Homo-oligomer: A and B are copies of this chain.
Amino acid sequence: MNEYRGKAIQDVYPDDFAWCYGCGRLNKNGHHFQTYWQGNETITMYKPEQEHIAVPGFVYGGIIASFIDCHGTGSASLALHRKNGYEPEDGVEPPRFVTASLKVDFIKPTPHNITLKAVGKITEIHPKRWKIDTEVFANNTLCAKGEVVAVVMPKTFK
């Protein structure tokens, strides 16, 4: 299972930005998605909970959308951090991104009770705006494709 090395980017998000229901390590009830480098691609693994079904035996699409969303912002953070000269384990706070848009194409029903793998390819659109193309696999079957456009988080949301 551990095809990747190093720390997840979510492990080193600043505490103030570590409350995300999808990927924040400080959100006790969240999904705790964790995104790593794997070569020049990014990877996030996740096994949906028992209740995360659309119909019995198949994963709920909103969970897959959430998975792609946080995988996308995490991947963008990994990429800009690396561009700035850092890896997650370097002890430097990485940039935090928010999602501008999210697109999911559901290719096949996603079987439940399997650990899913999201694999991301990252493109820089602008220094503060990145696109992440993601494929979600159950075992080796491609079940969904996603595109996230992520932007560097503004200093304030007000």
Contact = CB atoms under 8 A, between A and B. Distances in A.
Assembly stoichiometry (copies):
2
A9 B38 CA distance: 44
Nearest to A28: B51
Contact of A17 (B55, B65, B105, B106): B55
Interface in A40-70: 51-58, 60-63, 65-67, 69-70
A101 B105 contact: yes
Nearest to A21: B60
A102 B104 contact: yes
A66 B62 contact: yes
Given A21-B62, A62-B22, A69-B65, A54 B98 contact: yes
A63 B98 CA distance: 14
A19 interface: yes
A125 interface: no
A109 B55 contact: no
Given A20-B54, A20-B55, A62-B63, 6 more contacts: A16-B55, A22-B60, A27-B51, A30-B51, A61-B98, A98-B109
Interface of A: 16-17, 19-22, 27-30, 51-58, 60-63, 65-67, 69-70, 98-106, 109, 157
